[in-house]
Amino acid sequence: MRNTYNNPLNKRYASPEMSYLFSDEMKFKTWRRLWVALAECEKELGLNITSEQIDELKANVENINYEDAEKREKEVRHDVMSHVYAYGLQCPKAKGIIHLGATSCYVGDNTDLIIMKKALYIVRGKILNVINYLKDFALEYKDLPTLGFTHLQPAQLTTVGKRASLWMQDLYLDIENIDFVIDKIRFRGVKGTTGTQASFMDLFNCNEEKVKMLDKMVTEKMGFSQEFMVTGQTYTRKLDSIILNTLSEIAQSAYKFSNDLRILQNMKEMEEPFEKNQIGSSAMAYKRNPMRCERMGSLCRYIIVNALNPAITASTQWFERTLDDSANRRIVLPEAFLALDGVLNLYMNVSENMVVYPKTIASHVLKELPFMATENIIMEAVKRGGDRQELHERIRIHSMKAAKRVKSEGKENDLLERIIKDPFFKMKKEEIASLVSPEKFVGRAPGQVVDFIDNQISPMLENNKQYLGKEAQINV
């Protein structure tokens, strides 16, 4: 609708698969699947529930009568009980056993856990695809010398591929972390109103073993290997903080990449993809703005700040629970995933299609390389009988004059020409040139790229090859 607010995370940034996970349809159908699982397990453990009732519940999992639920919620002001009521209208035989012994958090919390676990797998798959694109890029440009920067000032040379390996390594650590978090997500299970399982103890006549079995059976039926052994009314909200911190860490990796590429685009060394009919500026027709990377940074900043919300929520849950978590979580949890999904869609698109300008890179290298090469020149001149201290002083004087020429006069760096003309160095132009070949100043950068990919990246991608080949969806 054009006359009401539409969340841009859905409209502009996130993929349909991620948006669906946090939709009402996904939520309420999962509620119904949880009610079916509860009834099945209660029946199996001896409660008076019939197969006919179970079949009736299963037959109506997908066809949710939203209008009945919405009408009821306006009357009772309770979303879960409204959907229990609506489900009961469709399942008259099973009406009396829906939600038997459970509290609202049985469906609410367990559904959140199911959805977030699925969402983490989507995130994980997209990170793997970004890593795969960066791997190909790093191998292609592993030997291309480029200026390294520390303090955003020219430093020793590295290679374009080695720099890409730094972006990859951040994501590699993110994959390790997300795997740990996915593995440690526990199900809330079947715990009752304050986590004591008192209602289920009543249902099973204080048979504690059956109550424990019910918890375990529902957990496994819903696809989890372990449940929280203790909860309040809710699972600990600390888990939300852990999950959103993980999303924040991924956003940090993407943010760093986007900033690096924006700076490189300013230097005209590399660019994000720019489409044939894309407009860079409404006023300046010549511009090629790094809009994808800028959007990545914008969304990443939102995710990083958003991670503070569940930290505060986890800190302020009084005793077994307070409801001041609810409205906050309805916004914070979905939007963190939707925003990160948008970031990774952009990251996939950009990393697959980055443009490199080797001649510009080489020209920048050659402007700075004479200063970096001076130590090599001094060492070679010493081998030829020169005095190290005198050579150092002459280099210092030549360097100051060359730097002044570059900075104050805007002219080319003529340091090498000055050294060639200085008879004290006893070196010809060809000999100097052989000492300042850029490839001699990159150290083990090419080898590091190969070692990193062979030993860590390729094995990880091989173990996850079924997740590769995804298309990035960019709406605008």
Environment class of 460 (CB within 10 Å of its CB; exposed 0-12, middle 13-18, buried 19+): middle
Residue 156, pLDDT above cutoff 50: yes
Reading phi first (left if > 0) and then psi (alpha if -120 to 50, else beta), residue 192 is in: left
What pLDDT, on a 0 to 100 scale, did the predictor assign at position 277? 47
**Rounded to whole angstroms, how far apart are CA atoms 214 and 325?**
27
What pLDDT, on a 0 to 100 scale, did the predictor assign at position 257? 98
**Percent of the chain with pLDDT strictly greater than 70:** 97
What pLDDT, on a 0 to 100 scale, did the predictor assign at position 390? 87
Closest CA to 229 of 244, 221, 219: 219
**Rounded to whole angstroms, how far apart are CA atoms 424 and 459?**
54
What pLDDT, on a 0 to 100 scale, did the predictor assign at position 286? 46
**Rounded to whole angstroms, how far apart are CA atoms 268 and 164?**
17
Render pLDDT for 410-447 as a digit per residue (tens, 0 to 9).
888 888 888 888 888 878 888 777 778 899 899 999 99
Using alpha carbons, list the distances in angstroms from residue 288 to 268, 314, 426: 10, 44, 48
Top-confidence range, 231-245, 358-372, 375-389, 425-439:
231-245
What pLDDT, on a 0 to 100 scale, did the predictor assign at position 465? 95
Residue 345, pLDDT above cutoff 60: yes
Closest CA to 377 of 347, 345, 410, 420: 420
Pick the CATH number of 374-435 from 2.60.40.60, 1.10.40.30, 2.60.120.10, 1.10.1040.10: 1.10.40.30
Render pLDDT for 299-310 as a digit per residue (tens, 0 to 9).
999 999 999 999
382 token code pair: 């010493």
What pLDDT, on a 0 to 100 scale, did the predictor assign at position 118? 98
Known catalytic membership, residue 351: no
Banded pLDDT at 1 (limits 50, 70, 90): low
What is the residue-wise DSSP string for 366-389? HHHHHHHTHHHHHHHHHHTT--HH
Which residues does 316 contact at the CB level (< 8 Å), separation at least 6?
322, 324
Average pLDDT over residues 252-269: 97
Supply φ then ψ for residue 386, to 5 degrees.
-75, 160
What is the residue-wise DSSP string for 393-439? HHHHHHHHHHHHHHHHH-----HHHHHHH-TTT---HHHHHHHT-GG
371 token code pair: 């200063």
**First-last CA distance in the chain:** 19
Average pLDDT over residues 78-93: 97
Given 225, 281, 315, 437, the catalytic residue: 281
Average pLDDT over residues 345-373: 92
Tell me which of 332 and 391 has the higher pLDDT: 332
- For the beta carbon of residue 106, count every other beta carbon within 10 angstroms: 24
168-177, 198-207, 400-409: least confidently modelled range:
400-409
Which residues does 4 contact at the CB level (< 8 Å), separation at least 6?
none
269 token code pair: 């060394």
Q: What is the residue extent of each domain of the chain?
A: 374-435
Residue 126, pLDDT above cutoff 60: yes
What pLDDT, on a 0 to 100 scale, did the predictor assign at position 131? 98
Contact between 290 and 278 (Cβ < 8 Å) = no
Residue 287, pLDDT above cutoff 60: no
Which residues does 22 contact at the CB level (< 8 Å), separation at least 6?
115, 119, 333, 334, 337, 338
Render pLDDT for 328-339 as a digit per residue (tens, 0 to 9).
999 999 999 999
Residue 283, pLDDT above cutoff 60: no
Given 19, 51, 78, 151, the catalytic residue: 151
What pLDDT, on a 0 to 100 scale, did the predictor assign at position 443? 92
Known catalytic membership, residue 399: no
Residue 285, pLDDT above cutoff 50: no
What pLDDT, on a 0 to 100 scale, did the predictor assign at position 279? 47
What pLDDT, on a 0 to 100 scale, did the predictor assign at position 476? 67
Supply φ then ψ for residue 150, to 5 degrees.
-125, 140
| Residue 187: strand, helix, or coil | strand
- What are the CB-based long-range contacts (under 8 Å, 24+) for 416-420? 416/370, 416/373, 419/377, 419/395
**Rounded to whole angstroms, how far apart are CA atoms 186 and 389?**
67
Which H helix or E strand runs over 467?
A: none
Question: What pTM did the predictor assign?
Answer: 0.92
Average pLDDT over residues 199-223: 98
3-12, 54-63, 241-250, 356-365: least confidently modelled range:
3-12
What is the residue-averaged pLDDT of the chain? 93
